[in-house]
A and B are shown apart, each in its own frame.
Chain A
């Protein structure tokens, strides 16, 4: 089976470990005051991709793909040596094509100019020429090694669980959003690979929606480079069981009742014959135990727990990332971004805004440019001059 994840370039080439990921930021680390800014930049860029993507009316899946393209591009390049803004535009444009969500190049250029020229980004030199974007797209394709199929957690989410919202049925929309069947794990192939094949987990109203939003949020981190998407989906379901009130209630209820049952009967009734369990499930639905469902999946639960931890860590970091002008809840009052930057060179526990990050990014890029110029003076030119001298001397 060639369309499945395990045979894909996504799995074989584009899942990296932490050490590699750290290594790819080595150049940027030389030019940033506090390494934590790089983590914030990861959020900052994801927000920008999402902003431009929404402006272009891209599907969530296309925005997710654009974000993954962006992250993969920066596995091989550094922020300080490139212009992340045109890279973002190219990622959105390429993703719109790769996900069959076509937008015109002209619109990408004009929308990108509009979005990026706003405060706090203030990018005034974004090329107005379509060919510049087309050219960047070419380099992007080159750097992505023509691997344009990206797997996302959304399809796993839909394969594993369903919402019991009686009224509206968002699944049709989400089905559309999750992508064409052939691209990913198709519904009939999916469960056999990593599931138990024993039906889907039923989440209370909005439970699936919550898991869906958690998945959306994971793109603000670099998790998509570190872990396979189906594990991220499972971690999102797990977190839904904890954070989503209605889902948490069912989990708590099941835990309580199973605790009581275990206390009472001592367990032998636990593995009943299949048929009767199904009948039981039909009789009273809430009996389904989400945690047991997750436990039965053929995946590494410690790994899922790790991912869940990393998602929580991302949220903790994101808490401190605040759009400019957004009300600040619970944190001590702060001065203007500039004055604070003077006070403390690093973010050091305080909140960070796009304005600050734009300044950090600009500073990084300028410092890199200066170094270039410096290298040029110290080594580049003289060599050329010397060669010319040698040549003239030889001729003379």
Chain B
């Protein structure tokens, strides 16, 4: 059940024909002495929703720092998310820990009270709100309190992702905050693409966008909550995936891609942290910040600076700017191997090294494997120096069955034109003939904790910090 059904549809919704009080505050600015009138408009407005409960909420968020006996208090100040993440000078250790505390759900009581509220004061908010901060009392059911933020679970292309709870339905959702204040160009184009795309997509293997919400100077995307992501879930050791589970995950990913490609959408950032999994064992593709609609009949020119390096197909590494959904299929091939090996297969440091890493597994591209390779823009710059034979089957035989190897090989095909499409991949003998058939890993419900790449990274960072301290 979607949380949107419970409360009046779309929290940001103003019945047509009614005025927006936030705008009223914006516009009378033509005249200098309209402050008082905007006060009036707030008083006259029966809807409490535009009154931000900001002062209290802000305190709640900042309190952890202030209560901590910090040795060098003044420099810490009201922690700004951006700057506080920068490791800076001698202060780094103490600041670092305070930030972690702020972001981690270690003190849930503090965070519970921190309703979805302005964590950052944008200049414009200060402008607009100076008049009514004193007068306003946070009311019980403002729209900003529809969701209570519980913790941060990820970092998207254009903003942080939080786990939150609908205060009415108690359902969990993921809130993705679109950063506006850092954007000189206003509403980020990437965010706009993601919003437009997701509003037009509906599939069991694509993450659902429930609604959009505007609250105190930020736009939030409200998603269905997914307990884990692929990187996180593969890094844990409590729950062991059977071959049937892995087959199911692979199949669900391909089904999602088949739907996207049918809809004329290229995802362009398929990777572990963008593949979400819930406790029912359902897999969904997420983060459409780089996705584009493409013309099925005509190939268009795009940027080749897409897809995280480790999952980037060779044609992009060779500089291709004219490409289609095949780029997603290479990434899918990388993910398929990762399901079995539990870690990314091609871990290059830069574009050249990435190609080298690929050569060392599946060999160098030859004209008979990839006829067009020599025509690609950067071929002369990055072409292989020595010929390396294909070691793929030798390397992965210990993890994967023959049909699985066959499919992976078709996905990791050098020639984009010969690479398996998502629909073709779903028809592979690996899914249709080989036993065991796919079974969703519903047993994940027994798994302790939630596994996201972010936590895995933090865990790693924490260990590293401990080690560093130990070394010192």
Contacts and interface: CB of A to CB of B under 8 A. Distances in A.
A376 B19 CA distance: 18
Given A133-B186, A148-B196, A182-B293, A138 B24 contact: no
B69 to A, nearest CB: 37
Contacts of A139: 20, 22-23, 26
A9 B199 contact: yes
A77 B23 contact: yes
B34 A23 contact: no
Interface string A21-53: 001101100000000000000000000000000
Contacts of A359: none
A277 to B, nearest CB: 28
Interface stretch (B99-107, B187-195, B246-254): B187-195
Contacts of A125: 30
A105 B184 CA distance: 8
Interface string A354-396: 0000000000000001001101100111011000000000000
A145 B12 contact: yes
B418 interface: no
Given A136-B26, A372-B37, A146 B219 contact: yes
Contact of A98 (B123, B192, B295): B192
A105 B183 CA distance: 11
B86 interface: no
A182 B27 contact: no
Given A81-B24, A93-B186, A105-B185, A149 B196 contact: yes
B128 to A, nearest CB: 9
A369 B36 CA distance: 13
B200 interface: yes
B463 interface: no
A131 B124 contact: yes
Contacts of B37: 372-373, 375-376, 380
| Centre residue among B23, B26, B217 by max chain A CB count within 10 A | B23
A26 B180 contact: no
B36 A141 contact: no
B24 to A, nearest CB: 6
Contacts of A133: 186
Interface string B296-323: 1000000000000000000000000000
Contacts of A292: none
A131 B126 CA distance: 14
B263 A182 contact: yes
Contacts of B36: 376, 380-381
B46 interface: no
Interface residues of B, number: 50
Contacts of B214: 141-142, 146
A376 B12 CA distance: 28
Contacts of A149: 196, 199-200
Nearest to A96: B189
A202 interface: no
A24 B16 contact: yes
Interface residues of A, number: 57
A143 B265 contact: no
Nearest to B296: A181
A186 B264 contact: yes
A275 B180 CA distance: 59
Given A146-B212, A149-B200, A181-B293, A380 B40 contact: yes
Given A98-B192, A186-B264, A16 B19 contact: no
A386 B53 CA distance: 25
Given A142-B12, A180-B295, A183-B196, A76 B263 contact: no
A79 to B, nearest CB: 11
Contacts of B27: 81-83
B397 interface: no
Interface string B31-47: 10010110110010000
25 contacts: A2-B202, A76-B20, A77-B20, A81-B19, A81-B23, A104-B185, A105-B185, A131-B184, A137-B186, A138-B186, A138-B187, A145-B212, A146-B195, A182-B200, A182-B263, A182-B294, A183-B200, A372-B37, A375-B37, A375-B40, A376-B40, A380-B36, A380-B39, A380-B40, A383-B43
Given A77-B19, A142-B12, A376-B36, 19 more contacts: A20-B17, A27-B19, A98-B196, A105-B184, A105-B185, A134-B186, A138-B186, A141-B187, A141-B214, A145-B10, A146-B212, A146-B219, A148-B195, A148-B199, A149-B200, A180-B295, A372-B40, A380-B37, A383-B43
* A-B pairs, 3 with minimum CB distance: A146-B212, A182-B264, A134-B186
